[in-house]
Structure 1
Amino acid sequence: MDRRTSRLKCRTRQSELLILLRRRGKNTAGTGGADTRGAYATGGNVLITGASSGIGRATAVHLAACGFDVIATSRDASRLDEMLAEAEGLSGSVAGVELDINSDAEVARVMPALIERRGAMEALVNNAGFGLWGPVETLSDAELKAQFETNFFAAVRMTQAVLPAMIRRRRGTIVNISSVLGRIGTPFNGAYVSSKFALEGISESLKTEVQPFGVRVAMVEPGLFRTNFPDNSIRGAAADSDTVYSPYIGRYHLNRDMFHRFGGDPARVARVVHKVITSPAPNFRNPVGIDARSATLAARMLPERVYWRLLSKVTMRH
């Protein structure tokens, strides 16, 4: 999606929101500018983790084109250079920040200073994550802990860092980038799946906890998209061992190809994130892509035995 198209989509979306708000008679007068039911946003600070590539990068550029001031984080700031160049000259801004979100000490040092300098976050997009694949039987404790540290604990850590300022303003949105695999489990993805299930579970609890303070929480659940996620996924140390699972693991390579052959444009996910942040009443769960919507619908609607038989037939052939 080019910059002109991105700007046009933003203007159209903002016009739709203004019309909707007028129809509903929303007015924040007398509340210090805050709508405790969850005010929509058309600008302000948005912090995105894992913004150097893929969905994070697409979201940073799209939100900057829509007038937001994006704070894009990466463990290695040099990896943000291409994204920063792409975002140059947009109506909003993008600032790169080097931040290891897996470090309690670093988050505790960087985030308060960042909020003091830039102001509270209008939204936090917890996007950073990676995949770990291999049979559950062969995964080590260290591998599982590393998976959860980035995909789950880091998201909680960042959420805790921005929430106090959001609650004081009675305004803000937490967007957790989950996955269709945060709703359904598939073979050899047990580590990744469980980390996303955990993220979805804590997000459900968080949503009701912060709702009285005007803070919204939403999940974005992509299916297959053209990113470097499968290439950056880590193989469990024992995944290539000759085991009873070996004939089935070969199908994983087909799944890797599917990301590149059939995956959607990450800009679609970015547009959904923008919709969540700007909507007066965002959906809690937002599956993105026909594969994500179809899979979650099948899991919900099919009889349990039929669903598991179908899943096994599709994923465990060799």
Structure 2
Amino acid sequence: MAQKTVLITGCSSGIGLAIASKLANDDKKRFMVYATMRNLDKRRDLVDTAGSSLGKTLEIKQLDVCCEKSIRDCISSIPNRKVDILVSNAGMGMIGPIECQSLEEMKNVMDTNFFGLVRLLKEILPDMKKRKKGHIVVISSVMGIQGILFNDIYAASKFAVEGFCESLAIQAIKFKLNITLIEPGPVITEFEKKVYEEGLKVDLSAADQETRDMFTNIYLRNYKDIFVSLGQSADDVAEHTKKIITSDNPPFRHQTNTLYTPMTTLKYADPNGDLPIDTFYKMVFHHDKVFHASLNFIKLLRWRSKKSFNLGKTNNKE
């Protein structure tokens, strides 16, 4: 397997950092990784994690997915502007009642999570089409399949990503390109911690009392319990990502958390769409004891579960 050029966005922390480090430290040196971030002042964690791969199989570059010039300059700095694998990971979160969020804040989420991907592909896709070779890997979310309470705008941005990629995938087949949507559930990272901390600061004065209580006493109160029970590590998601890109036949969609899969399966079990909404409503508002008992059961399953997973054959018998 010839060494492949990998461009990864959002590598200052979390999933992006973990993927960059894992690929750069590949024993077989199959990847030349260009790890990018909007603010290079935040590179320290990646530098520490990369270790001896820095300057060899890993280079750190500036790239802001919200700026076309930044993307163009970064791609132009890569030899022959050739990207074999794009890992689109940069993202922005938001939680809270929509009455308490400005349209500007909502637009920022859509601009980063959705149009950021579009900008990247406008710059990278033409060369992939010309060469009829390339793999576009998008770090999406289970919230691109199933909306979650008080994640309205974030879920909307991920739904947009999923629809965009599903449409593009049809064209990609003609050019022999692969597109993969990687869909984690809760992941324990600085990203999620920041989203939670920002949620605590939301000015709820524009919302009615019932909505304020719902957000504070139900959603925020259970936020940490859900992550403890269902949350994966960034390194776990990175391992899934590596398996995907070394697979001979990578899937279009891949959920990284089997403990969360039953929840997203509800979406496909009822063509009317009522089943998942009704189920989540009852879990949240009518079955508090059952909800927490379920979380405790999931903790037990996680303790007993194996970390390995199988995606079929992989290159070089990875």
Q: TM-score normalised to the size of structure 2?
A: 0.80
Deviations 1:167-192 (A, max 9, x none): 22211100111111010011110000
Maintained 8 Å contact 2:13/2:45: no
> Which residue of 2 is the match for residue 30 of structure 1?
none
Segment drifting more, 153-162 vs 231-240? 231-240
Distance across 1 between alignment mates of 2:48 and 2:110: 32
Shift of 1:150: 0.5
1:114 equivalenced with 2:77 (yes/no) = yes
> Which residue of 1 is the match for residue 246 of structure 2?
278
Please state whether the residue corresponding to 1:88 is helix, strand or coil. Answer: helix
The 5 A counterparts of 1:219-230 are 219-230=181-192
Question: Given the alignment, which residue of 88, 94, 97 partners 2:61?
Answer: 97
Distance across 1 between alignment mates of 2:85 and 2:96: 34
Deviations 1:22-63 (A, max 9, x none): xxxxxxxxxxxxxxxxxxx66311111111111111111111
Q: Return closer, same or farther for 1:239/1:161 CA change in 2, 3 Å cut-off.
A: farther
Segment drifting more, 147-156 vs 98-107? 98-107
Shift of 1:246: 0.8
1:143 equivalenced with 2:105 (yes/no) = yes
Question: Given the alignment, which residue of 42, 49, 52 partners 1:79?
Answer: 42
1:198 equivalenced with 2:122 (yes/no) = no
Q: Tell me the matched-pair count.
A: 276
Distance across 1 between alignment mates of 2:5 and 2:206: 47
Unmatched 5+ stretches in structure 2? 289-318
Aligned-CA RMSD value = 2.3
> Which residue of 2 is the match for residue 14 of structure 1?
none
Maintained 8 Å contact 1:248/1:316: no
Question: Given the alignment, which residue of 147, 154, 161 partners 1:185?
Answer: 147
Segment drifting more, 218-227 vs 269-278? 269-278
Segment drifting more, 177-186 vs 207-216? 207-216
Unmatched 5+ stretches in structure 1? 1-40
* 2:255 aligned partner, one-letter code: P
> Which residue of 2 is the match for residue 307 of structure 1?
276
Q: TM-score normalised to the size of structure 1?
A: 0.80
* 2:283 aligned partner, one-letter code: V
Segment drifting more, 89-98 vs 235-244? 235-244
Deviations 1:200-258 (A, max 9, x none): 00001111112211211110000112112222224495446552301110223234313
Q: Return closer, same or farther for 1:246/1:316 CA change in 2, 3 Å cut-off.
A: farther
Question: Given the alignment, which residue of 242, 258, 269 partners 1:290?
Answer: 258
Q: Higher relative contact order at CA 8 Å, sep ≥6: structure 1 or structure 2?
A: 1
> Which residue of 2 is the match for residue 123 of structure 1?
85
Q: Return closer, same or farther for 1:241/1:228 CA change in 2, 3 Å cut-off.
A: farther
